[in-house]
Amino acid sequence: MTTLDQHLERFLRRAEGLLERLEAVLPPAHPREPDWKRSFAFRWRRKPNGSGSFLQPVLHASGIALGDLHHVEAQKRQIEQNTRQFVLRRPANNVLLTGARGTGKSSLIKACLNAFADQGLRLIEVDKADLADLPDIVDLVAGRPERFVIFCDDLSFEEGEAGYKALKVALDGSIAAQSDNVLIYATSNRRHLMPEKMSDNAGYRHGEDGDLHPGETVEEKISLSERFGLWLSFYPFKQDDYLEITGHWLASFGCTPEQIAAARPEALQWALQRGSRSGRVAWQFAKDYAGRLPDDASNA
C-alpha cells in the first residue's frame, strides 16, 4: 500500500467516525410514522442520546380479557362503559384507578384495550418521568381517526416533581382544549397521588359555623385527583375471592377441577408468605403450581 493510500484510508476512517458522532446527536430528518393499523399498544420512549422521543410499538401486548377479571364487577362495568362511550365518540371521562396493589387496576385498562381495539382504540403507555411530554404526544395523535388512551401506571408524586404539574395541566388546566380523541387512564396506590403527612393537618381551619376547611397544602394534593372525572377504588380480596381467582387461572393452564381443589392449601400458604390475597398473587401461584405438575398429571 502506498503512502497516499494509507493517508486516504486514515482520512476515510476519521470521516466515518465523525459521521457516526453527528448521527448520534442529530434527530432524524423524517421520523417514521407509527403503524396505527398493525399495532394497538405503544410506549413513549426517549432516545438514549437525548435527541428526542418516539412511539415504540408493543410487539407482544397482554392478551388479558375482561372476563379474566373477577370480583371487580362494579369497577369493570364503569370503565367498560366509559371506554365504550369514548370509542363511540360520545362524552367520556379521564379515569383514576386507586387502591390495593395487585387487584386488577392495570389489567382492567389492558383488557379494555383488547375489548375495543377493533373499534379503533389505541393505548400509549407513558412513564411518570416522561409526563412533561404529554403536550407533544397529544399533538402527535390529534386529528387521527383512532381513539387514544394515554396510560400512566402506578403514579405517585413527591412535592415539586415536574410530572405532577404536566399531568395537572393536561387533564384540565391549559388554555388549549383537550383533544377529543384522547383520554388519560391512570393507576395509583394513593387516592390523591401524593404522600399525605401529619403536618398537612396543621393547615386546616374552622369556620365560624364549625365547618372544617382544608389548607393550601391539602387543596394542592386533592386538586390533581379531582381533575379525573371517574374514580374507581379497589379493595383487598377476601379469602374465598382469592381462591376463586386462583381456580380461574389454574383452569386457564389446563388444570382439572380435582387439581384445583387439591391446590387450595398451597394457594393459601402462598398468599400468607406474600402478605397479600390479590389477583396478581393468585396469577403467580397458578403459574408456579401448574408449571410443577407432572406432564401426565396435567394432561389427565
The pLDDT, as a whole number, for residue 270 is 96
Instruction: State the Cα–Cα distance between residues 140 and 268, nearest whole angstrom.
Output: 48
The pLDDT, as a whole number, for residue 119 is 95
pLDDT in tens, 131-189: 888 888 988 898 899 999 999 988 876 666 667 777 877 777 554 557 789 999 999 87
pLDDT mean over 276-283:
92
The pLDDT, as a whole number, for residue 29 is 42
**Backbone phi, psi, residue 257, to 5°:** -55, -35
CA–CA distances in Å: residue 3 to residues 11, 12, 16, 17: 12, 14, 20, 21
Q: How far is CA 57 from the centre of its chain?
A: 15
pLDDT in tens, 99-134: 888 889 999 999 999 999 999 999 999 998 888 888
The pLDDT, as a whole number, for residue 128 is 85
CATH number for the domain whose boundaries are 54-195+202-234: 3.40.50.300
| Percentage, residues of the chain above pLDDT 70 | 72
The pLDDT, as a whole number, for residue 219 is 54
Instruction: State the Cα–Cα distance between residues 94 and 85, nearest whole angstrom.
Output: 12
**Residue 231 forms beta bridges with which residues?**
96
Instruction: State the Cα–Cα distance between residues 211 and 293, nearest whole angstrom.
Output: 62
Q: How far is CA 213 from the centre of its chain?
A: 34
Q: 0.85 exceeded by the pTM? A: no
The pLDDT, as a whole number, for residue 36 is 81
C-alpha cell at 32: 417514521
DSSP codes, 219-284:
HHHHHHHTTSSEEEEE-PPPHHHHHHHHHHHHHHTT--HHHHHHHHHHHHHHHHHHT---HHHHHH
DSSP codes, 1-45:
--HHHHHHHHHHHHHHHHHHHHHHHSPPSSPPPP-TTT-SEEEEE
pLDDT in tens, 236-264: 899 999 999 999 999 999 999 999 999 99
* pLDDT of 200 strictly over 60: no
DSSP codes, 170-201:
HHHTSSSPPPTTEEEEEEESSTTSS---GGGG
Q: What residue ranges do the domains of the chain occupy?
A: 54-195+202-234, 239-298
DSSP 3-state of 162: helix
Instruction: State the Cα–Cα distance between residues 234 and 134, nearest whole angstrom.
Output: 27
The answer to whether 260 and 112 are in contact (CB under 8 A) is no
pLDDT in tens, 16-37: 766 656 555 544 444 456 778 7
Instruction: State the Cα–Cα distance between residues 295 and 300, nearest whole angstrom.
Output: 8
* pLDDT of 290 strictly over 50: yes
Strands 53-57 and 41-46: antiparallel
